[in-house]
Amino acid sequence: MPNDGTLRVTPQPVRRQVEERLREAIVNGRFAPGEHLSDRMLCDLFGVSRSVIREAVRLMEAEGLVEVVPNRGPFVSYLSPADAMQVYEVRGVLEALAGQGFAERASDAEMAELRAVFEEIAASRAGADRVGLLGLKRRFYDVLLRGCRNAYVARMLDQLLNRNTQLRATTLADPDRLPHTIEEIRRIVEAIERRDGEGAWEACREHVRQAARVALRILNQQAREKAEAGRAQAAE
């Protein structure tokens, strides 16, 4: 606070930047599910005041990315297998609508842009930088949502993808997943290039079904390990 007693007002662009950076850190796995997000740590990381951090945390809580525990503070939300299944069920329908809409309404330039992003994904190899891969997938969906010409689908799927990126990072932990992901997205792109709305719909649904299968297998294994660790700790 300045010496003249007036309140220092943080410009809105700074608040938005912190919100975007915090969201990105969560969805890209910089902060893991269950990790404590202390005010001091976030203030030091982003170089802003506690009030700005708390505003950003409140927004992340509203988006479902953060859970505030009474008397303990904010933690990165943990997605249970049941939560993940619900996310994938909704994502499957929304993504199919986006793929169908893109096939039927996107411009030739947008199709070329989608193909170019896919080729970057296809050039990725097992062991590639996870953050880089997540960024490419995010670019793919940015083009898909813009070209589907359905503002409601784009808005709902965009918000859901923030939640789903945590799951996407989970599936990338499976070393065998990337080649399958590439082939699934290839089928989406090829159906779109044929202007085959029905084919794009089904290719999108299949991609989400396969991603759900891998993520749920990993999450169920993690849940079992967590339960076993809890039982072992209680027995000590």
Q: Where are the domains of the chain?
A: 12-76, 81-223
Q: Is the pTM of this model over 0.85?
A: no
Q: Which residue has the tokens 């649904």?
A: 205
Q: Give the CATH class of 12-76.
A: mainly alpha
The fold for domain 81-223 equals Four Helix Bundle (Hemerythrin (Met), subunit A) (1.20.120)
Taking only the tens of pLDDT, the chain with its 236 residues reads 445 554 454 556 888 899 989 988 887 778 877 899 999 999 999 999 999 999 999 999 887 889 999 999 999 987 788 988 999 999 999 999 999 999 999 999 999 999 999 999 999 886 667 778 888 998 999 999 999 999 999 999 988 887 776 677 667 667 788 899 999 999 999 999 999 999 999 999 999 999 999 989 888 887 887 778 777 777 76
Contact 201/98 with Cβ under 8 angstroms? no
* Alpha-carbon 122 to chain mean position: 20
pLDDT of residue 196: 98
Task: Look up residue 14 and give its two tokens.
Answer: 């700074």
pLDDT of residue 12: 61
